[in-house]
């Protein structure tokens, strides 16, 4: 067999192995999806913040932060909250009990519950630490804090 022909065959075989080891591509050049990527659920990260009573309010609870596809869902549950009173709730700079400026407003707690979507990830929150979630008594009495919890990474 001709030496040049043998070299060409070896090169073709090696190129074929290289091509198939990288995965097939569609005609547009994008990788084909495997069943693993089609069936994979979004990765969810979760943090629970314990909200402790402040100013003898009798209000305590939790705020659960869940990151889904790079955005946070914040679900607040307070025990001892007054009925039919909207309570402003925020993510503040700083630590409890002496929080600083509002960083992210959350939905007002109604009967102790609120749910808010935030356009921020855990990584972005971590870069802004320290942060705390703070609940205020009411809009007219916003300077009275009833519950607070530090975010801990």
Domain co-membership, 28 together with 48:
no
More confident: 55 or 19: 55
Neighbours of 14 (CB within 10 A): 10
Query: Do 69 and 131 fall into the same domain?
Result: yes
**In a shared domain, residues 8 and 57:** no
111: CB partners within 8 A, 6+ apart: 81, 83, 84
pLDDT band (50, 70, 90) for residue 81: very high
Residues 45 and 19 in one domain: no
Report the CATH number that the domain containing residue 47 is assigned in CATH. Answer: 2.60.40.200
The confidence score (pLDDT) of residue 37 equals 45
- 109-146 per-position pLDDT tens digit: 999 999 999 999 999 999 999 999 999 999 999 999 99
**Domain identity same for 20 and 89:** no
**59 and 27 share one domain:** no
Are 27 and 90 part of one and the same domain?
A: no
Indicate whether 38 pLDDT > 60: no
Which whole-number Å values give the CA distances from 149 to 13, 30, 113, in the listed order?
63, 46, 16
Clarify whether residues 98 and 59 are in a common domain: yes
Provide the pLDDT for residue 3: 72
Domain with 81, as residue range(s), is: 41-150
The answer on 13 and 62 residing in a single domain is no
101 and 69 housed in the same domain: yes
On whether both 52 and 120 belong to a single domain, the answer is yes
* Whole-model pTM over 0.75: no
Q: How confident is the model at residue 19 (pLDDT cuts 50, 70, 90)?
A: low
Rounded to whole angstroms, how far apart are CA atoms 141 and 153? Answer: 31
Q: Quick check: 36 pLDDT over 50?
A: no
Q: How far is CA 143 from the centre of its chain?
A: 28
Number of independent structural domains in the chain: 2
């Amino acid at each position: 067999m001709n030496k040049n022909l043998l070299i060409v065959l070896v090169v073709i075989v090696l190129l074929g192995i290289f091509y198939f080891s990288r995965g097939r591509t569609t005609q547009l050049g994008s990788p084909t999806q495997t069943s693993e990527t089609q069936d994979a659920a979004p990765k969810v990260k979760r943090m629970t913040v314990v909200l402790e009573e402040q100013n003898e309010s009798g209000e305590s609870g939790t705020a659960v932060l869940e990151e889904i596809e790079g955005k946070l869902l914040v679900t607040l549950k307070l025990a001892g909250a007054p009925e039919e009173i909207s309570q402003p709730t925020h993510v503040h700079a700083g630590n409890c009990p002496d929080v600083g400026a509002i960083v992210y407003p959350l939905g007002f707690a109604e009967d102790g519950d609120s749910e808010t979507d935030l356009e921020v990830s855990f990584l972005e929150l971590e870069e802004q630490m320290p942060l705390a979630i703070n609940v205020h008594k009411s809009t007219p009495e916003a300077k009275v804090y009833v519950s607070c919890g530090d975010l801990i990474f």
